[in-house]
Amino acid sequence: MHIAIDACCLGRKKTGNETYIRGLLSGFEALLARTGSECEMRKAECGIIRNSVHPRGSASPIRGGDKWAAGEAIPNPASGAPSSPHIGDFRFTILTTPAYQGARARCFDWVDIPLGNFATRNFLTIPRVLKRLKPDLYHGVYWSRFFAQPAPTVLTIHDLSFVGFPQGFHRHEQLVYANLIRLCAWSARHILTISESSKREMMRYWNIPAEKITVAYLAQDSCYSPLDPSVPPANNQQAASGNQEPTIKPPPYILYVGNLHPRKNIVRLLDAFVRLKQSALPHKLKIVGQATWMAGDVFAAVRDSGFADQVQFTGYISYEDMASVYRSAAVFVYPSLYEGFGLPVLEAMACGCPVVCSNTTSVPEVAGDAAILVNPESVSEIAEGIRRVLTEPGLAESLRERGRAQARKFTWEDCAKETISAYRKTAERLNVGG
């Protein structure tokens, strides 16, 4: 069965979508390796399994360097390579853009398409490519052409934040997302989502039947792990240097990771931080993430706090470099008002960082009993959760141990298995790919 996958987010710092696609492909590769595939591949220390033989843009027996531009013939893997990549009877064509300069695993076909703008890419270019490739199924992320579809579609929708948290969007943006993505969802043959919370919302708001939705949980990349589980991450800095002896500790900090979006609730986190600083807390607050169009309220809150010199904005940090940031934090705080999953919670746990997070939407599914859960609308609860982790004897270490155990429950291979199961159910229902 031939599956075409939209991976146009790769290389574009689209943090949520890019993490998902990168992880899903690594899960497929793990399954290929586990089922005895003859793909030549090696694992990178972190991220997509890298191709050491055929770098990006070079020719390979399975078209690892194919590109497509307007007016050119689009390669058709179905008529090509004798050893097609597959899991059982599956093989995959990955659609990317020139923005992606990373390595490309040889067990997939890769086809570059013009980046273009959002509408042209999703509603004209990709359908034209699919018409030429003739896959049995197309796997899109949020978007697919909901009219005159060139291939049956399986669609990943992470969450319905534009419905469940509309105040986080411009009015016209909210209307476009809510209406167009709903049409895409209704026209899809099956939907993948990343939490039971998101599944319930699709059933509630869009009347999508439960049997049309499969939950495939996300996972953390393999680079997120404590180097030495026996040593509290905040008390040693061997991550970067590889030294086994602790070095001079940097100033302790409280960590937040995520975009500076209203639903992330950073203003209340800042209010909680101010309360703790007024009680002589020595820690700083480190905020990792990209600013959004509504980030002005966050910056204003910092300026007015009286502790602006105690707050650090790092901007975007690549996933390869994030592990050491998690390991060195005294506590990770994620007071989000709305989430489809909450991947930073899992990443922090995997690195051995104690977690304080919200008790709403999907976050409790991810955190389990391995975090301090708080009401994100209560500044006092957020502050108290942080204070407990930093001051109660044994609590931080208990959370580290439970967090590492919780993180091990989530793997990209399991995500890939659920995705394959959704492909199979869809194909059987449509009688394709046989």
Rounded Cα distance between 397 and 404, Å, is 11
Confidence at residue 427, expressed as pLDDT on a 0 to 100 scale: 94
Same fold, 2-219+412-430 and 233-407: yes
2-219+412-430 in CATH: which number? 3.40.50.2000
- Residues 31, 420 contacting (CB under 8 angstroms): yes
- Tallying the residues shown for the chain, one arrives at 434
Averaged pLDDT, 106-110: 92
Percent of the chain with pLDDT over 90: 66
pLDDT band (50, 70, 90) for residue 148: confident
pLDDT band (50, 70, 90) for residue 150: very high
Identify which of 322, 331, 341, 319 has the alpha carbon closest to the alpha carbon of residue 400: 331
Percent of the chain with pLDDT over 70: 82
Rounded Cα distance between 266 and 297, Å, is 9
Owner of token pair 């270019």: 125
Strand partners, 94: 5, 110
Select the CATH number that applies to the domain covering 233-407 from these four: 3.40.50.2000, 3.90.79.10, 3.30.70.580, 3.10.105.10.
3.40.50.2000
For residue 380, CA distances in Å to 206, 274, 348, 384, 395 come to: 36, 11, 23, 6, 19
Owner of token pair 């291979």: 413
Confidence at residue 354, expressed as pLDDT on a 0 to 100 scale: 98
pLDDT, tens digit, 9 for 90 and up, residues 266-279:
999 999 999 999 99
pLDDT band (50, 70, 90) for residue 36: low
Sorted by where each begins, the domain ranges of the chain are 2-219+412-430, 233-407
Averaged pLDDT, 150-169: 94
**DSSP secondary structure letter of residue 82:** S
